[in-house]
Amino acid sequence: MSLLVVGSVAFDAIETPFGKTDKIIGGAATYITLASTYFTKKANLVAVVGGDFPASDIALLQSHGVNTEGLQIRENEKSFFWSGKYHNDMNSRDTLVTELNVLGDFDPIIPESYKDCEFLMLGNLTPAIQRTVIERLPKRPKLIVMDTMNFWMDIAWDDLMQTLSMVDVLSINDEEARQLSKEYSLVKAAQKILTMGPKVLIIKKGEHGALLFNKEQVFFAPALPLEEVFDPTGAGDTFAGGFIGYLAKTGDISFANMKRAIIYGSALASFCVEKFGVERLASLTDTEIQDRVQDFVDLVQFEITID
Amino acid sequence: MSLLVVGSVAFDAIETPFGKTDKIIGGAATYITLASTYFTKKANLVAVVGGDFPASDIALLQSHGVNTEGLQIRENEKSFFWSGKYHNDMNSRDTLVTELNVLGDFDPIIPESYKDCEFLMLGNLTPAIQRTVIERLPKRPKLIVMDTMNFWMDIAWDDLMQTLSMVDVLSINDEEARQLSKEYSLVKAAQKILTMGPKVLIIKKGEHGALLFNKEQVFFAPALPLEEVFDPTGAGDTFAGGFIGYLAKTGDISFANMKRAIIYGSALASFCVEKFGVERLASLTDTEIQDRVQDFVDLVQFEITID
């Protein structure tokens, strides 16, 4: 089923203990769409870049099956740029540069051909823009998944609450879940957030895995223990892209299928961190993905007979 | 099969955001033996207390099936005492008081009736005392599991290395694994530690679950997401007690059975934190344990068909 992804397509400059990059392709929607194309070839992108954005990077997305009809190119402006430096433990980073540029007044124009999309992934953007996307769709998608971050909780709370009330699945990290709910316990946080609109909540815990909640059930997917994390940039978006890509492929939004989608998302994220930027994510084979999913099965599988 | 547990039996005074206790029964071997008795009724304890230790606390252990023949009581001395205060997030604590008292010159005398034990659990003690226990057993047990802590890495490295070389399974937390191996990645840490003696390594990550490694395989068990952690004291020892208790009950030390043992250990630890000290651990029913294990199955169970 067709997927619409809205979010940033951008330049990143990344420094880790293993090295540093010049400006490379980054942005939430880049990782989300690339990851999703391993499951669905109907990944429709809505984003904006400047005239400085290389045609080769757009071609990279297209070569993976991303439909870039909705990618606006503002010739005389500059692309969104983020630069960050990871600490030695890779769990924390400093933002060195954030230049909004074209993202500052992004108007998410949705091409006619996208308007029947059944799965909508709202990458991290201002909650007002995310809401505009929902409002511009003539028919509500079967599933709306939203990512956000602490920044919007700080400066756009009311907007965030309004957008949250309109989505089906929220994907955030553990600190964001605590900030949003004002609860330290993630179980209590989830209960509270599930009264704000979303029927399903994903709490990403980085190297500690991810939790999937609905009002009755909880599922935990571990992260794969890795020898080396080379660059964590984009791992959360890759996870989200794998998640919604798998749901769009199967068309099944049951909790049982969301569990599988979480495992596929986790598998893709475990590749993402192996190289800088999208390098590893852009070169996966189906066999590699299936083998990695098998690693997840092996990692958590046990046999217990409950008396 | 019979189990020998050596470790501290002590007084704890605990303060958490939920309240504080006077001196209550604590100590690694207390939690380990109590947890193990839910699986095996042959839990033989070697420890030392002072004359100040209440007969009612010893009776509590006995009523659960702990054999206290090897519990030395030094009438004119005082029991080991630890006092700590947990921070609001429950993940860190300050030690307020540590009085070694009788533990300062603990000589682990092993009663004749214990000497055929097939499972040995060495709770956290000086590595030299742990080694003495192994050396005093006429026949090497089928499985030796050892717990330790960063303190011994700081002050007794050579002793620790010598004891490590004699055990089968090491159980430590993530920070301790990093300190012991001088590797940040837990995968690399495990590879290194598995060259130091142990054939199996358990890395406890508290609320983030636990990893089980041998040279070829890795297994991950999550911690159950809890609404409230009331008092984390003893959770790691309870986990270890459930682990070795289940192994001693089944007599099976395969990796597959160690996975089950880890789940049972995690289930018991999830109860331990619900109340102060051993209160919850001392009052469990088999049905409660089986229901909790089912919660773990439900938490991680998913069905994926790998193409």
CA distance B186 to A204: 19
Is residue B160 within 8 A of residue B179, CB to CB? The reply is: no
Interface test with B, best of A289, A295, A302 (most B CBs within 10 A): A302
> Which residue of B221, B225, B304 is in closest CB contact with A211?
B225
- CA B186 vs CA A66, A87, A89: distances in Å: 36, 17, 12
CA distance A91 to B301: 28
- The tens digit of pLDDT for each residue in B262-272 reads 999 999 999 99
Query: Which residues have CB under 8 Å from B164's CB, separation 6+?
Result: B127, B146, B170, B196, B197, B198
> Which residue of A188, A208, A259 is in closest CB contact with B302?
A259
pLDDT score recorded for residue A307: 67
pLDDT score recorded for residue B303: 92
Is residue A239 within 8 A of residue A36, CB to CB? The reply is: no
Question: Which percentage of chain B shows pLDDT scores above 90?
Answer: 94
- The tens digit of pLDDT for each residue in B35-64 reads 999 999 889 999 999 999 999 999 999 999
Is residue B29 within 8 A of residue B9, CB to CB? The reply is: yes
Please answer yes or no on whether A219 and B302 come within 8 Å at the CB atom: yes
Whether A255 contacts chain B with CB within 8 A = no
Please answer yes or no on whether A256 and B302 come within 8 Å at the CB atom: yes
| DSSP run (H or E) holding B227 | none
DSSP A24-89: EEE-HHHHHHHHHTTT-S-EEEEEEEETTS-HHHHHHHHHTTEEEEEEEEETTS---EEEEEE-TT
Confidence of residue B307 (pLDDT cuts 50, 70, 90): low
Whether A285 contacts chain B with CB within 8 A = no
pLDDT score recorded for residue A305: 86
Please answer yes or no on whether B260 and A302 come within 8 Å at the CB atom: yes
Whether B216 contacts chain A with CB within 8 A = no
Please answer yes or no on whether A205 and B209 come within 8 Å at the CB atom: no
- Using alpha carbons, select from A69, A46, A49 the residue that is nearest to residue A122: A46
Write out residues in chain A with pLDDT < 50, as ranges. none
Is residue A222 within 8 A of residue A300, CB to CB? The reply is: yes
| DSSP run (H or E) holding A305 | none
pLDDT score recorded for residue A291: 97
- Using alpha carbons, select from B223, B199, B230, B188 the residue that is nearest to residue B209: B223
Assess if CATH 3.40.1190.20 describes domain B3-300: yes
Which residues in A lie closer than 8 A to residue B205 (C-beta atoms)? 208
> Which residue of A89, A208, A298 is in closest CB contact with B208?
A208
Whether B209 contacts chain A with CB within 8 A = yes
- Cβ within 8 Å of B, A 99-138: none
Cα angle, residue B53 at apex, residues B50 and B57 outer, rounded to 5°: 140
Amino acid present at B167: V
Please answer yes or no on whether A260 and B304 come within 8 Å at the CB atom: yes
Cα angle, residue B265 at apex, residues B259 and B270 outer, rounded to 5°: 130
Which residues in A lie closer than 8 A to residue B304 (C-beta atoms)? 260, 263, 293, 297
Q: Does residue B90 carry a pLDDT above 90? A: no
To the nearest whole Å, the CA of A217 is away from the closest chain B CA by: 8
Place of tokens 């059930």: A217
Q: Average pLDDT of B87-109?
A: 91
ipTM for the complex shown = 0.91
**Alpha-carbon dihedral angle through residues B32, B34, B36, B39, given to the nearest 10 degrees:** -170
Question: Which percentage of chain B shows pLDDT scores above 70?
Answer: 100
Question: DSSP strand E in A154-198: where?
Answer: 169-173
Whether A185 contacts chain B with CB within 8 A = yes
To the nearest whole Å, the CA of A225 is away from the closest chain B CA by: 6
pLDDT score recorded for residue B108: 98
pLDDT score recorded for residue A41: 87
- Cβ within 8 Å of B, A 149-168: none
pLDDT score recorded for residue A91: 76
Please answer yes or no on whether B205 and A209 come within 8 Å at the CB atom: no
- The tens digit of pLDDT for each residue in A106-117 reads 999 999 999 999
To the nearest whole Å, the CA of B17 is away from the closest chain A CA by: 13
Tell me which DSSP letter residue A139 carries. Answer: S
Please answer yes or no on whether B297 and A303 come within 8 Å at the CB atom: no
- The rounded Cα A229 to chain-centroid distance in angstroms is 19
CA distance B95 to B85: 7
Which residues in B lie closer than 8 A to residue A221 (C-beta atoms)? 300, 302
pLDDT score recorded for residue A286: 96
Interface test with B, best of A203, A243, A300 (most B CBs within 10 A): A300
Q: Average pLDDT of B72-92?
A: 92
To the nearest whole Å, the CA of B89 is away from the closest chain A CA by: 7
- Using alpha carbons, select from A88, A126, A97 the residue that is nearest to residue A232: A88
Taking the domains of chain B in order of start, what are their residue ranges?
3-300
Q: Can you read off the two tokens belonging to residue B117?
A: 């034990």
Is residue A120 within 8 A of residue A42, CB to CB? The reply is: no
Which residues in A lie closer than 8 A to residue B290 (C-beta atoms)? 306-307
Q: Does residue B91 carry a pLDDT above 80? A: no
Which residues in A lie closer than 8 A to residue B208 (C-beta atoms)? 205, 208-209
Q: Which residue of A has its CA nearest to B203?
A: A225
Which residues in A lie closer than 8 A to residue B186 (C-beta atoms)? 225
To the nearest whole Å, the CA of A106 is away from the closest chain B CA by: 39
CA distance B261 to B264: 5
Whether B211 contacts chain A with CB within 8 A = yes
Please answer yes or no on whether A208 and B205 come within 8 Å at the CB atom: yes
Is residue B14 within 8 A of residue B230, CB to CB? The reply is: no
pLDDT score recorded for residue B89: 77
Round the average pLDDT of chain B to a whole number and report it: 96
Which residues in A lie closer than 8 A to residue B221 (C-beta atoms)? 300, 302
- Using alpha carbons, select from B170, B160, B165 the residue that is nearest to residue B190: B170
